[in-house]
A and B are shown apart, each in its own frame.
Chain A
Amino acid sequence: DVKVTQSSRYLVKRTGEKVFLECVQDMDHENMFWYRQDPGLGLRLIYFSYDVKMKEKGDIPEGYSVSREKKERFSLILESASTNQTSMYLCASSLFYSGKGRRKPQHFGDGTRLSIL
């Protein structure tokens, strides 16, 4: 089974701090994703990466950056945390190609619940 591990389940930080969220997958997947999940809203894509050192902006990249130095690891960085970044953060990974032009599903970690005070 695919395993996606997020380094912290709960995290409390202060406004203005630089925050690092780490994610590791063990299935040699090319694609990795960072989402945030808020009540009443669907998952919103922050950033994704198709390969090492590659990154693409998602729908809500403002205030965030990412790093992918190794294939298995994808980090989300809050440059200067603000209270509106309090949320559940989910990391996911997937294979890039699955024969017949179809895509494999994304597999998720258990999330980091981040509170910014």
Chain B
Amino acid sequence: EDQVTQSPEALRLQEGESSSLNCSYTVSGLRGLFWYRQDPGKGPEFLFTLYSAGEEKEKERLKATLTKKESFLHITAPKPEDSATYLCAGMDSNYQLIWGAGTKLIIKP
């Protein structure tokens, strides 16, 4: 069964303290790995798509990487405004997204 697991469930960091969020997947025929950010009371906002192992994408303080089993979202020197829930999803061979439950990131000033 296709599955996407995110860890940790929640992560508290001090402002400026870099870290990584993990997205482990078992999705047959993976067509892409998607990262989204979700603020409270809002819908998910698209961040990145990664298509093949070894690929990396960057946006401001965020960098996403992909291996054959997992993806990482690295956050460098985070600021309080980076606080949000980060979701990842794998696109299966039928072009449907399999979603993880998310990591809630809290950045303290």
Contacts and interface: CB of A to CB of B under 8 A. Distances in A.
Q: What bracket does the count of chain B residues touching chain A fall in?
A: 20 to 34
B44 A90 contact: yes
Q: What bracket does the count of chain A residues touching chain B fall in?
A: 20 to 34
A90 B4 contact: no
A58 B96 CA distance: 9
A115 B46 CA distance: 27
Contact of A43 (B32, B41, B45, B99): B99
Contacts of A44: 99
Contact of B43 (A45, A103, A108): A108
B53 to A, nearest CB: 16
A40 B101 contact: yes
Given A42-B4, A42-B102, A106 B97 contact: yes
| 5 A-B pairs with the lowest CB-CB distances in the bound complex, closest first | A42-B99, A108-B43, A43-B99, A105-B46, A110-B43
Interface of B: 4, 31-32, 34, 41-46, 49, 51, 87, 89, 91, 95-102
Given A90-B43, A106-B46, 4 more contacts: A44-B99, A103-B32, A110-B42, A111-B42
Interface of A: 4, 9, 40-45, 48, 58, 90, 92, 102-103, 105-111
